[in-house]
């Protein structure tokens, strides 16, 4: 996992609030309306229903505390601000406690369409609508619990499962492929690419293939996995994922579908 960022994280005050600047609120406003329209066109109902439930402010960055109030009512989750990037063990520990870690900085205007690391728009707009759904909330909690039980060398393998589902997963709804993952929902450029581009490959979801597929965080994904429904995601909770990780490690990674570089996972 990448552990350095060029952005400076905001620190919450004694009340847990972050005093975002007028420019940062303006960037949120610039991003929100167009991405809301794209979500209606390309995203799963799981996401769009969650976005409607949260009723996020379109003209300012929502505070984690106010989003947490909505999530607590829906699924018992809450959101806490964290530095831009945190290590795997901290990430999994928070998920296991039903706490979503939200990077507290806002992207610059130079990176409006595509950002290589999570910012507060990705975290709040992309992730928290999904956490209003009981199935996504429970799956995310389960990933966290597994992460606290896993060996350190297993963490990156477990992260691939999270990456290709909660972050960049696709799902079939009423015969159409829709975007499920938060990384897609919050990306102006990758969301339509994932659904429409002939350059992107879309494969049926298969746990072993997911675990063995390397990815890079700084490009549009060359490969996405398609869930046939949330039942398939729920079934993973009853699967011995750590054993599957050990099997995948024995088989090794698939060849990457991109030019390898130092930031690949």
Q: Which of 176, 151, 155 is nearest to 41 (CA)?
A: 176
Per-residue model confidence (pLDDT) at position 111: 83
Per-residue model confidence (pLDDT) at position 2: 47
Report field, pTM of the whole predicted structure over 0.75:
yes
Asked if pLDDT for residue 227 goes beyond 60, the answer is: yes
Q: What is the CATH number of domain 22-251?
A: 1.10.800.10
Q: Provide mean pLDDT across the span 77-93.
A: 92
Beta bridge partners of 99: 78
Interval 136-190: pLDDT, tens = 999 999 999 999 999 999 999 999 999 999 999 999 999 999 999 999 999 999 9
Q: What's the mean pLDDT when you consider all of the chain?
A: 93
Per-residue model confidence (pLDDT) at position 4: 52
How many Cβ atoms are within 10 Å of 258's Cβ, its own excluded? 15
In which band, very low, low, confident or very high, does the pLDDT at 112 lie, cut at 50, 70 and 90? confident
Asked if pLDDT for residue 210 goes beyond 60, the answer is: yes
- Which residue's structure tokens are 């879309």? 202
């Amino acid at each position: 996992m990448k552990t350095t960022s060029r952005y400076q994280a905001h620190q919450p005050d004694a009340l847990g609030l972050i005093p975002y600047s007028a420019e940062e609120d303006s960037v949120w406003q610039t991003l929100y309306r167009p991405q809301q329209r794209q979500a209606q066109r390309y995203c799963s109902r799981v996401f769009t229903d969650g976005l409607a439930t949260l009723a996020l402010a379109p003209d300012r960055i929502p505070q984690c505390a106010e989003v947490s109030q909505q999530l607590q009512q829906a699924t018992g989750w809450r959101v806490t601000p964290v530095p831009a990037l945190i290590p795997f063990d901290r990430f999994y520990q928070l998920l296991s406690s039903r706490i979503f870690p939200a990077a507290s900085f806002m992207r610059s205007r130079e990176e409006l369409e595509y950002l290589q690391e999570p910012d507060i728009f990705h975290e709040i707009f992309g992730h928290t609508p999904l956490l209003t759904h009981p199935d996504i909330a429970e799956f995310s909690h389960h990933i966290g619990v597994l992460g606290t039980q896993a060996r350190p060398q297993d963490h990156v393998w477990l992260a691939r499962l999270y990456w290709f589902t909660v972050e960049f997963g696709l799902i079939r709804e009423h015969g159409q492929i829709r975007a499920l993952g938060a990384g897609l929902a919050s990306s102006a450029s990758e969301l339509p690419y994932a659904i429409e581009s002939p350059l992107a490959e879309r494969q049926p979801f298969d746990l072993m293939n997911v675990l063995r597929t390397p990815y890079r965080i700084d490009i549009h994904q060359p490969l996405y996995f398609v869930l046939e429904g949330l039942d398939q995601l729920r079934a993973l909770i009853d699967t011995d994922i750590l054993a599957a990780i050990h099997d995948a490690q024995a088989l090794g990674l698939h060849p990457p579908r991109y030019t390898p570089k130092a930031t690949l996972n």
